[in-house]
Structure 1
Amino acid sequence: MTEPRLKFVMCASPADVHRMAYWEWGDADNDKVLVCVHGLTRCGRDFDELAQRLAPHYRVVCPDVAGRGRSDWLIDPSAYTVPQYISDMLTLVARLDVDEVDWVGTSMGGLIGLGLAGALAASALHRPQRGEFGLPQGRTLRLGRVVLNDIGPRLDGQGLARIADYVGRDVSFDTFDEAVAYVQSVSAGFGPHSQALWQRLTRDVFNRQDGRWVKHYDLRLAASMGLQDEAALKAAEFMLWSAYESLASPVLLLRGEQSDVLSKETADQMLARNRRSQLVEFHGVGHAPTLLTDDQIGPIEQFLCA
């Protein structure tokens, strides 16, 4: 299989009903499902190489989170938040009709996975029991193995500021080569890549419109980043640590050695606070490893298919 199937699912926010696109690889009837969720300004096609490698084992599902790629843009930009994305992912998993999914999350995609884990843990803990009138206890969604790519409960402020600086920039280019140069300039943390791979990383996140190359995502994503004050960030960090500690299956932590989002201290703390976790670091890479090359795909394949 050299190309994925493009599908969509209808999701809801307080202001609208929107379509979330997703890319599906492997046997459509396979109940063993891997959900791969991209970073803030990227898209589901980021996982093509990983998905092709894992398609013999999994049905691999790679959504374009709302506001990105082929998915609809939200009417209310303040809804571009992790809780909304969690809701959309639950709708997607319901469409897939499985009780358990493994998860690969890069940056924002990892935060969505942690948020989902926290929501599932809270539901299991606090939901009133209904005896014989309720659904069987086993019929619920479970997170299996989780891969967190250069993300954790505590985020480095320097990296967040760097990302916030370019997210809302309204830039466009006359040529594709200019778009490639721009992606290289704002994505230096991805580490060394061949020119062919930089073109690959650009092709899915710039669209040709009215004769110019423009970003594929809703620039209003930047607005929701500006709504986060220090108190809200501290509360979110507390909840994310609780969610991380609740992960009951093995966890693989990936970190770019030069990351300005996931510090070495936070990664070490993650190892200490969940004994089911293990860490792989990539030399010469910052935020975030692109998972395009064998040296980065290999540890994930070994972890998920062990």
Structure 2
Amino acid sequence: MSAVANKSVQCLSPTGLHRMAYKEWGDPANRRVLVCVHGVTRVSDDFDDLAAALSDVYRVVCPDVVGRGRSGRLLNPQNYALPQYVADMVTLLARVDAESVDWFGTSMGALIGIGLASLPDNPVRKMIVNDIGPALNWTALERIGGYIGEDLRFATFDEALAYIKAISLGFGPHTDAQWLKIARDVLRQNADGQWVRHYDLALALPFKSATEESTLQGEALLWQAWDAIRCDTLLVRGAQSDLLTPDTARQMTQRGPKARLVELPGIGHAPTFVQPDQIALARDFLLGTG
């Protein structure tokens, strides 16, 4: 396995400074950089298998987006939003001295990539968008806000593991060992010895404050961003995904970067890219062999 280092970078929000943790795989002098960014309640550890498989070619950088995992928390939870996340990634790219990057984003991580890749003079060369699109569903956002804000505490790890598996069925089939890692990556023990999820529960506040009107405005801005993207883009959809609809995926192949679409059967939201065939899909696209 290639060398991996745990690092952090200081970032700025409207209410102060915070630290963003990140894992860096491979040769730190490698100019070929791949940034992998996780979903809304996940962490950088999600990409351990993918990063290990690609670190022979890339320096792979996997951040914990602010509010998650080993990263700091924001003083104003309303700043848990795409503009802050994109700004933090620009700071991260400056820290790792990356003039050009390839991007792998799952769900929220893909929306951050879309935001970055839409900007003039952006550094994104290739991008994988994993099971998300510009179309937003207000009802779904309300549901997500309720789910991620629940202050759940589990007396035993087994209880917490069962919960993580239950809410992650869309990930598709995994081995017991894979489920164990998926759960361990996003759980921690609090001071009372209870198992809790490893993120700031205040992440839910921007979701809860969203309205149907603000959701429509956000969707329009995301489509505008998508239409501005020019980098080579692969769109991956879980064939049973309820977050990326077939119609939205079709539009994404016809607008903006005109992404190449691959659907993965038997999977919903979202493919984890820990399975060998999924890792091979990413590698083939990024290295231009597929």
- Whether these two folds match at TM > 0.5 is yes
Q: 2:244 aligns with which of 236, 239, 262?
A: 262
Q: TM-score, normalised by structure 2?
A: 0.95
Q: Which residue of 2 aligns with 1:6?
A: 6
* TM-score (structure 1 length as normaliser): 0.90
Could you tell which deviates more after superposition, 157-166 or 264-273?
A: 157-166
Asked if the contact 1:189–1:288 (Cα under 8 Å) also holds between the matched residues in 2, the reply is yes
Structure 2 equivalent of residue 201 of structure 1: 182
- In the alignment, which of 282, 286, 289 is matched to residue 264 of structure 2? 282
- Measured on the aligned residues, the alpha-carbon RMSD in Å equals 1.4
What's 1:107 paired with? Answer: 107
Q: Please, which of 266, 273, 292 is the counterpart of residue 255 of structure 2? A: 273
- Give 1 or 2 for the bigger CA radius of gyration: 1
Distance 1:206 1:36, change over 3 A: same
Unmatched runs of 5 consecutive residues or more in structure 2: none
| Equivalent pair of 1:249/1:276 in contact (CA under 8 Å) | no
Q: What letter corresponds to residue 189 of structure 1 in structure 2?
A: G
**1:208: Cα distance to partner?**
1.6
CA displacement 1:168-212 (0-9 Å, x = unmatched): 111111211111100011111111212211111011100022311
| Code of the aligned partner of 2:55 | A
Q: Is residue 2:209 matched to residue 1:233? A: no
Structure 1 unaligned blocks of 5 or more: 122-139
Amino acid in structure 2 at the alignment position of 1:84: Q
- Residues 203-218 of structure 1 aligned to structure 2 (within 5 Å): 203-210=184-191, 211-218=193-200
2:62 aligned with 1:62, yes or no? Answer: yes
How many residues are aligned here?
287
Superposition deviation, residue 6 in structure 1:
0.4
Measure the CA separation in 1 of the matches of 2:208 and 2:125.
33
**Contact 2:231–2:257 (CA<8 Å) still a contact in 1?**
no
Q: 1:14 corresponds to which letter in structure 2?
A: P
Q: Distance in 2 between matches of 1:300 and 1:144?
A: 14
The structure 2 residue matched to 1:302, chosen from 277, 280, 284, is 284
* C-alpha contact (below 8 Å) 1:8/1:21 kept by paired residues: yes
1:97 maps to which residue? 97
Q: Identify the residue that residue 235 of structure 2 maps to in structure 1.
A: 253
User: Aligned pair in 2 of structure 1 residues 75, 275: CA closer, same or farther (>3 Å)?
Assistant: closer
Residues 155 and 262, structure 1, Cα contact 8 Å, conserved in 2? no
> Which segment is superposed worse, 225-234 or 288-297?
225-234
C-alpha distance in 1, partners of 2:234/2:108?
Answer: 16
Give, in angstroms, the shift of residue 274 of structure 1: 3.7
Separation in structure 1 between the aligned mates of residue 185 and residue 197 of structure 2, nearest angstrom: 9
- Paired residue secondary structure (1:172): coil
